[in-house]
Structure 1
């Protein structure tokens, strides 16, 4: 992935299964990039919703994206610990414009004590009907949800102790 050296700026764009743009995160910093994954940091980043509304993230975040896994993970550094927001999504692609993925609605919120909650199952079921998700996509998403939950329980990957803190220290060197 030429041009994605640590410290490079990048935009993040999420889409829905029907191809509609869902959400855009403004400038974020690439912390690590290789052919399989990307780690990105941001803080007080402007986010634009599909209807044009904007909001700004409240805290620093370290984002983990992969080309093989159907999820991405956002570790948010708050005063009382690290919270994770995990999107069940397509693997990402990068096309010189932005890092892009399809958001499939299912989310997992992980608390600092590593307990977690599955969110938005109703939204997923609604969009599965409206956008006619193929059965194979449904199976892939739930299989990857199980894989993600194993990572959470095993403190693996972006859930490993010190992962977010170490990458946040790197992020601070580029600011």
Structure 2
């Protein structure tokens, strides 16, 4: 199976964080990846490496500026971390994305909320985001919320189908 290095950058092109994932599917609309435990996330901005004991399913839109990371826990709980970002640039075994600060989190009860809006406001000035980017981030925030609330793709069961497969991988392989 093909492995990708996913690299997330800040607007000034400094590396923010990175991780490795295996390709599940790629088409003209999206890239779908998975990571099994132990998952390693290198947080370059903080100078730390985090190791997670859960699996993840990563949906990267090629048409809209967002990713959806589905954290899959051994007890069956799932949570979503939706990142507003640039469109991905895929070269060889790398997927590069520019992080645009605001994230939507969907907790295990299905409640959602946005985080890092204060960071976005600071970075508007710090990185001198152009007006069209500020407007685009606002539209993407509204779109993510709408897709989730109305259960539209990829929140229409598409992600959950793949979560079930990954849970089976975890249970059958007894990944520790």
* Shorter-chain TM-score above 0.5: yes
Tell me, what secondary structure is at the counterpart of 1:75? strand
Aligned length in residues: 167
Counterpart in the other structure of 1:37:
30
Shift of 1:170: 5.9
Rate the CA distance shift 1:168–1:103 in 2: closer, same or farther, 3 A.
farther
Unaligned runs of 5+ in 2: none
Query: SS where residue 158 of structure 1 aligns?
Result: coil
Measured in 2, the distance between the counterparts of 1:36 and 1:120 equals: 27
CA distance in 2, matches of 1:19, 1:77: 30
Does the CA-based 8 Å contact 2:72-2:163 persist in structure 1? no
SS in 2 for 1:159: coil
How far apart, in 1, do the equivalents of 2:53 and 2:124 lie? 31
The yes-or-no answer on 1:132 pairing with 2:128 is yes
Matches within 5 A, 1:99-138: 99-138=95-134
Instruction: State the partner residue of 2:140.
Output: 144
**Structure 1: tracts of 5 or more residues without a match:** 1-6
In 2, Cα distance between the equivalents of 1:168 and 1:56?
22
Provide the alpha-carbon RMSD of the alignment.
Answer: 2.0
Q: Say yes or no: does 1:59 pair with 2:54.
A: yes
Give the C-alpha shift of residue 107 in structure 1. 0.6
Q: CA deviation at 1:49?
A: 1.7
Q: TM-score, normalised by structure 1?
A: 0.87
* Residues 60-119 of structure 1 deviation map (CA, whole Å, 9 limit, x = unaligned): 110000111111101111225211000011111101141110001101110233220110
Q: Which has the higher mean CA deviation after the structures are superposed, 161-170 or 57-66?
A: 161-170
The whole-number CA distance in structure 2 between the counterparts of 1:168 and 1:40 is: 14
Distance in 2 between the 1:66 and 1:111 partners?
21
Is the Cα contact below 8 Å between 1:75 and 1:164 reproduced in 2? no
Q: CA offsets per residue over residues 111-158 of structure 1, 9 Å max, x none? A: 233220110111111111100000100001110110110111012223
TM-score w.r.t. the length of structure 2 is 0.86
User: How far does residue 163 in structure 1 lie from its aligned partner after superposition?
Assistant: 2.3
3-state SS, counterpart of residue 154 of structure 2: helix
Q: What is the SS of the residue equivalent to 1:157?
A: coil
Partner of 1:158: 154
